[in-house]
Each structure stands twice: as C-alpha cells, then as structure tokens.
C-alpha cells in the first residue's frame, strides 16, 4: 500500500476542490469528502439517516442519536436499544464530553453466578442464556445526550428509525449469511419465531420488516426514557426474564442511569486526543500506548516494518498486562489512572523494551484481562458544519447478543455479563485471566475495550475515530492514529491498511493476511516473537478534517461500512 505525506495530499485536495484536477492515485486513496458534514457507520441505511439529519440542520449529536436508533433496526448484530456503549462528544465551543451508557449487572447478580457445583465456569451460561443480560443503557444514554446537546426535536431524530423498521430495508449479503448462520440458535433460545427467522434461507436484497421494534421505538418517541424503562416495554423485558429465568427486574430498569464522565486526554506529536475513561479501558490503554511509542521513531521505521511492529507489540504487551491488573468500574474499584498514564511511568515501560529481542509475556508483570467484546460491536463517527463531532461505540457484546429476542418488543437482549470475570484467577475461553477488579457485583458496570476517540490539532478538530473488535479495538484505533500522524496516510488509507494485534496473553502477534510479509515474519520469529495469521481485525470508521475544513470519511472495507458527506 502506498502512503503519502499529509502536506502533499492536503495540497492536492486543495487543487481538487478549486480546480477540479488531482493526481489520480491520490484520489483513489481518499474516502468520500464533504464540507458541511460527514457520517461514517457500519451500514448504508444508518449512514443515510445520519446524513439526512445533518442536512435538516441537526448537529452531530442529533445525527448520532438518530444513527444509534437506526443501527438498532438495520444492524441488529450490534446496533441496539438493549445494549450500551460510550459517546465522546466535542462541541463547536471546543468543550469535550464523554457519556457512559454501559450496561450494569442486575441487583440480584452474584459473584459466582456462572459457576457450577464443582466451582468451575459453566460453559455458555454467561453468553448463550438470559442470565447473560446486563441492564440496558442505550435508551437512557440517547435521551441524556439529546437533552444536553441536541438541537432538533426528539421526534425528528428517532422517527427515521421507526419508519425504517415499519417499511423494512433490503439486507446485505453479509447480513443474509449472518441471519442464516444463527437461525438454529435463535429457534433454540426463543419460545416463539422472531422476524429474524424465515422458513427459507435469507438472501441479499430480502426485506427485513420489524413491526414490533417499530412499536417499541414509537413508545420511546412518545415517552422518551419511560417508553423503555417503564410501561409496556418494561413489561415485555421483565416478563421475558421471569419466563426464561433471567435477573433483570422493574427496579433494575427504573434505577438505571447513564453517566457523564471526564475524558481521558493526552498529547501525541503535537496532537491532542480525547477518549473514554473507565469503566472502559480504551482511553487509558490508548494513552499508555501512545505515551510508550512516542519514545521511538515510528515514522522513520515505516508502516508495518519489523521495527515498528516489534516496538508496537512490546508496548501492547505491557499495556494489556496493566489493563488486566488495575481497570474496572471506578464506582466499585480504585483505578490509578494518573499513575498508569504518568510520563515517568511510561518512560520506564518504554525502557524495558529491547530493540531486537521480544520480551516473553510471562516475563511481563502479571495481570489479568476480562473477557473481550466480540467483533460484533459497532462504531460510528460524525462531524457537522459547526465543528461538533461525535465518536461513538456501542454493542450487544456477542453477535446479536445472546440471540434472545424480547417477545412483543422485537429487539435482541445483550450478553454483556460475559465481560465480567466469571471466576477471578481462572483463564477464560480466550486464555485470559479474570481479575478481582472486574468481578461481578450488583449494579456494577463490566469492563470494556471500547475506545471512541477525538483528535485535535492547534485547537481544531482533526480526527474522529473508533472501532469494534473486542480486545482489538484499542490496537485498531492506535494503529489508525499512527497511520495518519506518523505515516502520512489519508483517512481511507489509514482505515484500509492491514492490522496486527497483541494483547499480552496469549503471547502472540495476530495479523491479517498481507499485513506482514514473509521476510518480516521470519525476522520477528528470530527476535522471539510468536505470530499467527487470522482474519479481519477491527472495523474502523473515521473522519479526517483537512486544513481547509474539508472532511474525509474513511469507511472500513472489512464490512458494509459506508461514509457519506455533503
């Protein structure tokens, strides 16, 4: 893959806009551009809805709320009203807000609820049953975000999702394959036949119509928060819990509140960035990674070279070990954010990295990492004409959550309880060790890797970025930022570029096909690194704002992701 210096691309873009001419290769390396707004999401229907809100004069928060509800309709694998996530918001007044609408453990949840009589974790209990569901946060989060920072009416931002659910939309090839692959489990886990199941196989272009979800969204339109956490929808949720043996009660729903938190912020190569604080580990881990890697000349080393990969994965080993040991819900545990991100501490961590020799993970200070979100998390990025921007990551955890659909409500439940440590001190299915800081407690938020991030330069918005992908979220955002800042890529090039990942345990560099050439693989093996080629890593959706204010969208080609601007 070619990369181009930012100054060269910016100059060529300026010529393109004013004179209608530009080097063909650079045009091909860029994503869609816009001057008034940009929306990048996991599904074209959601992107269109977000863009329509911006065209109506809505701001980035209005569009973000509309996209969140739209994804619940058109991207049910991860879009949701019964899951949770995080917003990072920058206003035109240059104020940054972060909103935590992460799910919580039900009040009747217990530390050992997923253990059998022998004290061992019961396989599937925290992922495939109704016991896997945490108390949803999405609807409360959307209401709070809109009430604080929205500009259009509540009806205006939710009605497009209602219309989409009523009229239906043609599913993509990927969605048809997904729905066919989960047909058996949906039928096994539900006592009725949801709209996501057909007698025949789904195929690309089939219309997915969701009348029950439309009615649920209408109740949220008319009653806001009370349309979900009380009344008929709450009856549906609690009734399902009682029928299937779940834990969420009316009190759990009524008590849920999302939380405004202070962002994690830092600087890298004269760029300032803002990300999410615990209970997500993303912002802290990203700050650690950028702090450590700033001690090395990644720009001179080059993109995905042996030297760059070595220094980056050595940093990742140390950061994921720290994540495991210290991070959790700050309401329940003391998280030493300042100490973990202190410049002297990060300099010490960097000094531990040997130039030509890998540090075995069992020699890195031990910690533990909670279970990661599946790849079916989703991220979207939005920027408007006034300088407002939203970086948002949301999830049900597994693809389609626990694949249990609320009867009468028409939406999937989450299986976020799996993000807790089911048994602290015992390796989970990923080979990661659970930790006391992330043990199950009533009302506690489970640890996350979500890393929605905003980047500024000289006080101006520069980048909106984030990704799904479980434990790979952090490293996907990390690499995308370096691709632009250090390697001079356009936004689309940075998003498309092949990725690699290390999470401390297992001691393994996982990499996409073509991310590392065979000669480099051989050299890394000789340095003591361990490597494994896997499938796609992450699904980054991002926006880059050029010096003249033009916005470039970068939609990840690994999915049905779409960027549109105007």
Q: Which of the residues are catalytic?
A: 377
Say if CB 256 and CB 100 are below 8 A apart. Answer: no
Angle of helix 60-74 versus helix 138-149 axis, rounded to 10:
160
Q: Cα–Cα distance between 424 and 434 in angstroms, integer?
A: 4
Nearest to 42 by CA among 85, 10, 7: 85
Q: Cα–Cα distance between 280 and 100 in angstroms, integer?
A: 9
* Token couple for 564: 């549109």
Backbone angles phi, psi at 164, to 5 degrees: -65, -40
* Beta sheet of 264-268, edge-to-edge order: 33-34, 551-555, 541-545, 460-465, 453-457, 271-275, 264-268
- Count of C-beta atoms within a 10 Å radius of residue 513: 10
Q: Cα–Cα distance between 48 and 74 in angstroms, integer?
A: 12
CA 474 to chain centre: 9
| Kind plus residue range of the DSSP H or E element containing 349 | helix 343-351
Beta pairing class for 509-511 and 531-533: parallel
Burial of 177 (0-12, 13-18, 19+ CB in 10 A): middle
Nearest to 79 by CA among 400, 448, 403, 538: 400
DSSP, residue by residue, 96-125:
EEEEE---B--TT--TTTTB-TTSSB-TTT
Verify cis geometry, omega within 30 degrees of 0, for the bond prior to 100. Answer: no
Burial of 6 (0-12, 13-18, 19+ CB in 10 A): middle
Burial of 290 (0-12, 13-18, 19+ CB in 10 A): buried
Q: How far is CA 294 from CA 480, 486, 500, 536, in A?
A: 15, 10, 19, 27
């Amino acid at each position: 893959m070619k990369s181009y210096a930012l100054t060269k691309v910016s100059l060529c873009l300026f010529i393109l806009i004013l004179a209608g001419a530009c080097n063909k290769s650079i045009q091909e390396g860029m994503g869609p551009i816009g001057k008034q707004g940009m929306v990048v999401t996991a599904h074209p229907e959601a992107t269109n809805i977000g863009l329509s809100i911006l065209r109506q004069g809505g701001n980035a928060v209005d569009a973000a709320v509309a996209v969140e509800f739209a994804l619940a309709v058109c991207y049910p694998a991860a879009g949701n009203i019964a899951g949770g996530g995080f917003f990072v918001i920058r206003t035109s007044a240059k104020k940054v807000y972060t909103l935590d609408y992460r799910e919580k453990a039900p009040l009747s949840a217990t530390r050992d609820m997923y253990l059998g009589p022998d004290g061992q974790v019961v396989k599937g209990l925290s992922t495939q049953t109704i016991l896997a569901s945490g108390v949803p946060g999405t609807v409360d989060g959307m209401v709070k975000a809109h009430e604080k920072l929205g500009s259009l009416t509540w009806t205006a931002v939710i009605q497009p999702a209602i219309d989409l659910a009523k009229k239906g939309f043609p599913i993509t090839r990927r969605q048809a394959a997904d729905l066919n692959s989960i047909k058996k489990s949906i039928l096994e886990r539900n006592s009725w036949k949801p709209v996501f199941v057909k007698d025949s196989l789904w195929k690309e272009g089939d219309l997915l119509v969701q009348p029950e979800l439309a009615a649920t969204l209408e109740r949220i339109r008319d009653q806001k928060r009370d349309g979900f956490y009380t009344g008929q929808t709450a009856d549906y949720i609690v009734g399902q819990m009682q029928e299937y043996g779940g834990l969420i009660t009316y009190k759990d729903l009524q008590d849920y509140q999302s939380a405004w938190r202070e962002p994690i912020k830092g600087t890298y190569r004269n760029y300032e960035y803002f990300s999410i604080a615990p209970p997500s580990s993303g912002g802290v881990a990203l700050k650690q990674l950028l702090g450590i890697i700033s001690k090395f000349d990644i720009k001179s080393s080059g993109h995905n070279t042996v030297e760059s990969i070595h220094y980056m994965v050595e940093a990742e080993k140390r950061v994921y070990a720290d994540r495991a040991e210290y991070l959790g819900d700050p309401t329940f545990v003391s998280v030493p954010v300042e100490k973990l991100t202190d410049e002297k501490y990060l300099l010490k961590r960097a000094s531990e990295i040997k130039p030509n020799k890998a540090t075995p993970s069992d020699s890195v200070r031990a910690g533990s990492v909670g279970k990661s979100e599946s790849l079916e998390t989703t991220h979207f990025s939005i920027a408007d004409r006034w300088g407002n921007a939203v970086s948002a990551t949301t999830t049900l955890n597994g693809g389609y959550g626990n694949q249990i659909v609320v009867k009468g409500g028409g939406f999937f439940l989450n299986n976020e309880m799996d993000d807790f440590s089911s048994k602290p001190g015992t390796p989970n299915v990923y080979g990661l060790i659970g930790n006391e800081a992330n043990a199950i407690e009533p009302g506690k938020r489970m640890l996350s890797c979500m890393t929605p991030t905003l980047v500024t330069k000289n006080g101006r918005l520069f980048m909106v970025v984030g990704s799904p992908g479980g434990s790979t979220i952090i490293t996907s955002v990390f690499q995308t930022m370096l691709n632009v800042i250090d390697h001079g890529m356009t936004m689309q090039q940075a998003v498309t570029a092949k990725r690699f990942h290390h999470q401390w345990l297992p001691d393994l560099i996982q990499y996409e096909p073509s991310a590392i050439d065979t000669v480099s693989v051989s050299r890394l093996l000789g340095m003591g690194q361990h490597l494994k080629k896997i499938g796609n890593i992450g699904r980054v959706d991002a926006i880059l704002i050029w010096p003249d204010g033009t916005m470039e969208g970068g939609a990840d080609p690994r999915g049905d992701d779409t960027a549109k601007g105007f």
